[in-house]
Amino acid sequence: METKIIYFTMNGRPEQAEFPLDCPAQDVKGPFFPDLFRSAAEAGPHDILKLYNPKGNIINISPNLEPNSPQSRYKLEVVAADCNSAELAGALGFDLSSMEKRLQDLEKKILIEAGETPAVVYEMKKQVDSFREKLESVEHLSWLGLFKDLSEGTHKPSPFYHKRTLRKTREECEHVQEKFLQMSSLEVSEEVRQYLKTPNFDNWQWEDAEIMVLLQVMYTDLDFIATFTIESDILQRFLFEVYRRYNNIPFHNFKHCFCVTQMTVCSRTSTASIVLPCFLEQMYGLIWLTDLRRKMDGIDLLIMLTSAVCHDLDHTGYNNAYQINARTELALRYNDISPLENHHCAVAFEILEKTESNIFRNLPMDQYKRIREGIIKCILATDMTRHNEILNKFKSILPAFDFANKDHKDVLMMILIKVSDISNEARPMEVAEPWLDCLLQEFFNQSDVEKLEGLPVTPFMDRDKVTKPSSQTGFIRFVLLPLFMELANLFPCLEQHIIDPVRKALDYYTEMEKALEREKQNRAQSENAAKSKETAVGMQSSADSHSDAGPEPSTPGNTFKD
């Protein structure tokens, strides 16, 4: 079998990886190919690896790597690592894994000696599981580095589980800004540019500085730089300010902004030979996929892309229902009317009001007003309480939709950003499922706070009532599919690219829900059987004690007379 050798360095030491020339493309996500590099880096299964060519450009770790020589080695780097058990034990004051192991050993010993597991052991296991779940899902404990990976996949959990502060620290921002500015002048390969237009990109393998570079590529490839006279240093400052104003929360963070922005622009480019990770999946992708560049003005596309970039600025992880019920400053300021979305808009224009970060500063006033009006409409449309209103309006104009009609285009732009905002399930499962885990952590954290503060608990966020699959099946059936299908009526090409994957996701979570229900029933039967047996043993013990006590003494009146 012919092989290919890749030469690289790891921490300055020379290494090499050898693999078959006919290694299948899907192995980029499989165990074989990445493990060659993980082994050399002594990295864990969830660590992020980066590979650089001799020019210092990031390249994808895949079987398509260009062969090189010992004189032109690539550079391999581990950029993130999970919290290990020793660190966790030090943080908690004890080792949770050791506790679970001791409990398992105790259970085995009891089973060998008694032939059954007493109810008290079930209760102990339940308490340990509950404690672990609390550590894994409560936001203010997330610094411990735990993450509940329900999908049992090999993806990298969101880095936001490891952050200690809601707001980004000055040091954190300065480090990312410096790295971004260093990378911003590097050439992005055509392979990456094309993959950026597809709906399969894996956001989990990209750092914040790299994400800003790719956002910059979007503005360039859509000809916004030249058309709207956007200076490169102003765009870079704008993107950095946007990054800085997204918070360290599990879901509504800078990576989410990035994903929503990219879905707006997928192209029809075939991905059969592309094995790069897939990331910017939303607004950027839809612009290319639906060929909107030929159907809408450039200024409308600029509005949609910038709206996607800014749509969740300064989100703190608590939705509008919480803001209103808790009477927060935002709810009072905006009179309970889309408090979050109004705030996101306000923060966006705070950034754009500064000369050094105003990417629209060279535009005439009439164009700026049009852009401002469009961005406000698009961001306010992401309030899910307006979902039916906007969808019904789109359905009413769909039979006679006219791209020359401004009102029609305005509604379409709102629909497109809504689709981009909630379309994670249109991505490959290994990309989409970690986002669901992130969303559930944010939801559960809010419901915990609502309970603590005596506020109405948002039903779909209650950790005591919601399961992973149940959170998705209804949402896909009654929100995602109806929305996506209406958009596909205008753009039939979307049937294959976003509707088919969502239908598969519905099947996946439906099966998971059935499996959980079967597991729940089996557990209940086992517990009932254990309790019944325990009751029977107790009754037998009571009967035996009565027997050992001898015959009951006779009393007057109980003696029969002849």
Q: Which residues are catalytic?
A: 252
Beta bridge partners of 554: none
Q: Which residues 6+ apart lie within 8 Å of 228 measured at CB? A: 298, 299, 302, 359, 360, 362, 363
Ranges assigned E (strand) in 293-378 = none
- Strands 13-20 and 3-10, by their bridges, are antiparallel
Q: Which two tokens stand for residue 8?
A: 């690289």
> Contact, 446 vs 459, CB < 8 A?
no
Q: Which two tokens stand for residue 435?
A: 């986002």
d(CA 483, CA 422): 10
Q: Which two tokens stand for residue 440?
A: 């559930």
Of 47, 7, 19, 29, nearest to 274 by C-alpha is: 29
SS3 105: helix
> Contact, 56 vs 186, CB < 8 A?
yes
Of 240, 256, 241, 242, nearest to 204 by C-alpha is: 256
| Cα torsion 328, 135, 158, 382: sign | negative
Count CB-CB contacts under 10 A for residue 233: 12
Ranges assigned E (strand) in 11-102 = 13-20, 48-52, 58-59, 74-80
Of 38, 258, 44, 248, nearest to 156 by C-alpha is: 44
Question: Which residue is associated with the tokens 């019944």?
Answer: 532
d(CA 73, CA 95): 41
Give Cα separations from 27 to 6, 36, 37 (angstroms). Answer: 16, 12, 13
d(CA 40, CA 10): 7
> Contact, 203 vs 159, CB < 8 A?
no
**Angle at CA 546, nearest 5°, toward 544 and 550?**
110
d(CA 548, CA 543): 9
**End-to-end Cα distance, the chain:** 107
Q: Which residues 6+ apart lie within 8 Å of 426 measured at CB? A: 199, 263, 281, 432, 484, 497, 498, 499, 501, 502
> Contact, 409 vs 299, CB < 8 A?
no
